[in-house]
Structure 1
Amino acid sequence: MKGKRKFWIIAIGLILLLGYGIWEAYNQPSIKDLPGDFEEVAFVRNEQNKGGIMRVYAVTVGDMTNAKYDACADMFPTNDYGSITKIYFFDKSKPFPVNLTIEPPHYDTNQYEAVMILKRTGSDKE
């Protein structure tokens, strides 16, 4: 009888732990949870995996007065070894790019105007 009770205590503990892990995985904050009505509209990444990774994002902002730009930029991925992540923020009520290129300036600057540009790098190189 003691063996069955010990089994069920361990099983229930593992089930609770697994349930908590699944709940945490599906309830991570995203840019949509931040003030500012952020929405990612374009993304491009370099294809090489040797050396630094370059990621470029275009994000629209609906509420520019309450937007938390730094908090939003911190949610985008970075990694070490020369990685660079650039986030371009655009006013949602004006035209914004839906396609980006890996080469600067990354979008047509004559047609679109970024309201904020933030850059995040990996910790090893600037």
Structure 2
Amino acid sequence: MQPRIKYLLGAATALLLLWFVFDALTQPGPQDLDGDFTEVALYRNENNTGPVQRIYAVTVADTVRWAEMQQYGEYMPHTKYGNTRVYFFSAAGPAPRALQPGPVPFAPELQAKCLAVYEKDLQSNVSFKRRPFGQP
């Protein structure tokens, strides 16, 4: 090959690699959402032979940012044939500091404080429920 073609191929490869790195580092994520989302608790099961279960408790400053809450849930990690649930609470009120497996992963007295829950199940079906425990 001629030196000029080698130089052009090398420059094109370097530019392409730089573009890939820039694109990877500028992907949107939960930190880009409005609402001051703060993860306050996380549970992940230890069972690596069955479905991975992830449960998050997250506080949000503005309690009516439903679309952002759902988008936050979309940004959370999910494993094929696993389950991811994100419970949202007001930053101004109490929120769980520890989670455990089960249908309600925190203390019953906090149910009334839960604003919404996002869930992606084993088949990647998504649900988002406002006021999941029936409070007004």
Q: 1:98 to 1:5 in 2, by over 3 A?
A: farther
Q: 1:66 to 1:125 in 2, by over 3 A?
A: closer
Retained in 2: the 8 A contact 1:79–1:121? no
Instruction: Look up the match of 2:64.
Output: 65
The residue identity in structure 1 corresponding to 2:121 is T
Q: Which runs of 5+ in 1 are unaligned?
A: none
Range 54-63 or range 101-110, more displaced: 101-110
Q: Which runs of 5+ in 2 are unaligned?
A: 127-136
Instruction: Look up the match of 1:106.
Output: 105
Q: 1:9 to 1:122 in 2, by over 3 A?
A: farther
In the superposition, the TM-score normalised over structure 2's length comes to: 0.78
| RMSD, matched Cα | 2.2
**Could you say which structure has the greater relative contact order, defined with CA pairs below 8 angstroms and 6 or more residues apart?**
1
State, as a whole percentage, how many aligned pairs show the same letter: 30
- Tell me the alpha carbon deviations over residues 30-56 of structure 1, each in whole angstroms, 9 at most, x when there is no partner: 112123222222211111122211100
In the superposition, the TM-score normalised over structure 1's length comes to: 0.84
Range 31-40 or range 16-25, more displaced: 31-40
